[in-house]
Amino acid sequence: MRLRNKPWARDFMAEHSDVLLAEPEKMNNGWHGLFGNGNPIHIEVGTGMGQFIIGMALANPDVNYIGIEHFDNVIVSALEKVIDAGKPSNLRLFRANGMDLVDIFSEGEIDRVYLNFSDPWPKTRHVKRRLTHETFLKLYEAVLIPGGEIHFKTDNRLLFEYSLVSISSYGMKLRDVSLDLHAAMPKDNIMTEYEEKFSAKGQPIYRLESQFNNL
């Protein structure tokens, strides 16, 4: 992702700390209290510019959503969209690295993880950076409820094939594996910005759902 410097981003984010949390680690084991209900919590690791997580929050008011992004210059764009959408009460954002999840969420605090169009890290020496690598699967398992789910979408065939093997080898259950999601578009599919771009070019979108076998 090519990032443009936005020198105003930090100040803008600070002005909207009700949506974009500056210190999410302080909410560990307190996320349901923040939302003021016991509804399920779904997180998107690598939320990008926010189109998916905002669409999900608006479509499912009985679910709480959290968008996580590592870069200021990206998450500030998501914040602008959240504001334009009226700041849905069931949606929050914060800036963090995926490796920080266990410091931010407690065991069993999350119900579902979304991974959408993650960086494929194609070089072999970077394989551990892929968000479906065993290292990250362990982190997701640590914060998800027993039997928690991962939903994954990508346009990258090699990353998808790698993810199928990685997730299966971890002992997770696979379901709803699609090699061309848009060939029979589900009515409830919320597209990301990248998904719209790639599908408009005729590129297939790969998708899977998986569940931890720890019930």
Q: Give the Cα separation of 125 and 108 in Å (integer).
A: 32
119 is catalytic: yes
In DSSP terms, 60 is beta-bridged to: none
Locate 154 and state its tokens: 């990508």
Helix ranges (DSSP H) in the chain = 9-15, 31-35, 51-59, 72-84, 101-104, 134-143, 157-169, 193-200
Is residue 41 a contact partner of residue 31, using CB atoms and an 8 Å limit?
A: yes
Nearest CA to 20 out of 65, 75, 71, 62 is that of: 75
Q: CB under 8 Å to 81, separation ≥6 — which residues?
A: 49, 50, 51, 54
Residue 154 is inside which H or E element, if any? strand 144-154
Dihedral sign (CA 71, 35, 54, 87):
negative
CA distance 211 to 148: 6
Phi/psi at 88 (5° precision):
-50, 135
Catalytic residue among 119, 176, 180, 188: 119
What residues are labeled active site?
Answer: 119
